[in-house]
Amino acid sequence: MKIESVKLKVKKTKKNGFTLLELLAVLVILAALATIAIPIFINKSATSKQIAHNENVRTLQQQGNAYLLSVDSVPAENTDITQLMVDNGYIKEIPTNPLPVGEIEAGAYIVKVGPVGNAKVNKAVVEVTGIESVVVVESPPVTIAEGAYIKFGNYLGQPIIWRVIKKQEIDATKAGDELLLLADRIITMKPYDAKEPGNADADRLNYGSNYWGNSNIREWLNSNAATVAWTTQAPNAANVYVSGTAVNPYDAEAGFLTNLTAEEREQIVNVTHKSIVYNTLDGNDGGTAAHGYTGTGVDESVTVAPGDNYNTAWYKNTSDTVFLPSLGELSDYVDGVLKHEDETTDYQIAYTTQQARTQSNFASDPANDATAWYYCTRDAFAAISYNVRNVLTDGTVNSIYAYYGYYGVRPALYLSSSSMTLGAESGTTAGAAYTITSFN
C-alpha cells in the first residue's frame, strides 16, 4: 500500500506565517496520518512478500483447476502440470516465490494433480504479519479424526449428521486438510433423473439418464435457488416412476443448498472429480473402456474382474459442491474401513431418517430407523444409458433405472477444517456428534 502525499489546505491570513491555532491543527492531522500509517508499514518488505506469496498460491490453485477441467484426460495423481499451465495459456509464467530462503513455504512453486483430479500446489498460504490492525488471521484447523460424526446443516427441520470418511488436502489456500463427509443416513428419497421427453435415445426418453453431469439430482444438490434451474426435464409428476402415484417428484422443491446458512456454504470446498459414464452418448474426459459390471460388494465392484478396470474406465469430470459418492470413494474410504455404531454392520449399508420416510410418498418405504435401504452412487452403469449404480440393503452393488423415485440420497461434501470451532461433544457416535459452535 502506498499513501499518497497529502496537501493540507489551510486558510491564510494576510500574515506571512501560520497562526498558533493553525499550526496545532496541522500537527493533529499529521499525528493522525502517522497513527494510520505505522501499523501498515511495520516490516513492510516482509509483509509485501507474504501477501504476494499468498496471491501466487491462490492463483496457481485456481488456474490449475481450470486447466484440469479443460483437458480430455486428467493426468495421473502427482503429475507435475506447472509448465503445462504456461504452455496452454493458463498462467503467463511460473511465478518466483518472494519468500526468503529459510521460510517454511519458500522455494519453487510446483502444481501437481491431486488425489481426486484437482490441482494441488506444493506451497501453502502464510500468515501475513506487520498489519495486525487490518488483517484477520484465520484460526487453526480443528482436530477431528476420520470416522468421527459431525452435525452440519439442516434438512427437513433436523440437523444433518455426517461421518468423516477421509481427510485430505483439496484446497491449498486453506489451512489443514479438508474433511470428506458422507451423510450418516439417507436424508431423502428422490429420482436420480427424470424421463427426458424428446431425447433421441429411447431409453433415456422412457427411464431417464445416468449421466451425472446434467442429472436432476446433481442440479438439486448444488442449487441455492428457491426454484432450481433444470437444464433437462424437471423431475415432475409426469416424468418420474409411478407406483400408484408418481413417486417423489421434486421439481418444485428449493435447491438443497438453501437448507444451509451462508456461513455453512462458505465452509464447503468445491471439488473436481470423476464419474463413470456411458461413453456412447456422453463421451469422456479420459479412460480406455467401459467400466465392467459386477453385482458383488462395493470393494469388489472396482477391484475384481470385470470391474477392476475402474481407474482406467471412461469417465467425465465435474466440479461439485455437494455430490453423491462414487463406487471408488465408497471402496477406498468406507467398505472394510468403517462400521456402524453396532460395530458389526458395514458402513456402506445405509438407513433412512424418520424425516425422509415422512417426506416420501412410496407405499413400501422402510419401516423404521433400523431397516436398511437402497441408495444411488453418482456412477453410471456404463453398458447402457439409463441405469445408475446403487448400493443395496446388504451392501452389494447393483443398478437401477434413473427415474425410480424410491431410492435414497446419501450426499457427500468436502468441509474445510479451518475457521470453525467445535463443541465439547466426543464425536464418537451419531448421538454424540460434534456441533459447530462458530465460524471464525
Tell me what pLDDT residue 131 has: 57
Q: pLDDT tens digits for 2-37?
A: 333 333 333 334 445 555 555 555 454 544 444 443
What ranges do the domains of the chain cover? 27-121, 148-439
Residues 403, 387 contacting (CB under 8 angstroms) = no
Residues 325, 410 contacting (CB under 8 angstroms) = yes
Q: What is the mean pLDDT of the chain?
A: 87
48 confidence band (pLDDT: 50, 70, 90) = confident
Tell me what pLDDT residue 85 has: 87
Residue from 333, 357, 355, 335 nearest 345 by CA? 335
Which residues contact residue 308 at a Cβ distance below 8 angstroms, ignoring those fewer than 6 apart? Answer: 292, 302
Tell me what pLDDT residue 22 has: 56
- Angle at CA of residue 64, ends 127 and 263, nearest 5°: 55
Q: pLDDT tens digits for 121-138?
A: 888 877 667 655 444 445
Tell me what pLDDT residue 56 has: 87
Helix H or strand E segment including 301: helix 298-303
Percent share of the chain, pLDDT over 70:
86
3 state SS of 311: helix
How many angstroms separate the CA atoms of 160 and 153, rounded?
Answer: 6
Q: pLDDT tens digits for 318-348?
A: 999 999 999 999 999 999 999 999 889 999 9
Residue 9 main-chain phi, psi, to 5 deg: -95, 115
- Does residue 223 have a pLDDT over 90? yes
| Distance, CA of 359 to chain centre | 26
Q: What is the mean pLDDT of residues 223-248?
A: 98
Q: pLDDT tens digits for 362-381?
A: 999 999 999 999 999 999 99
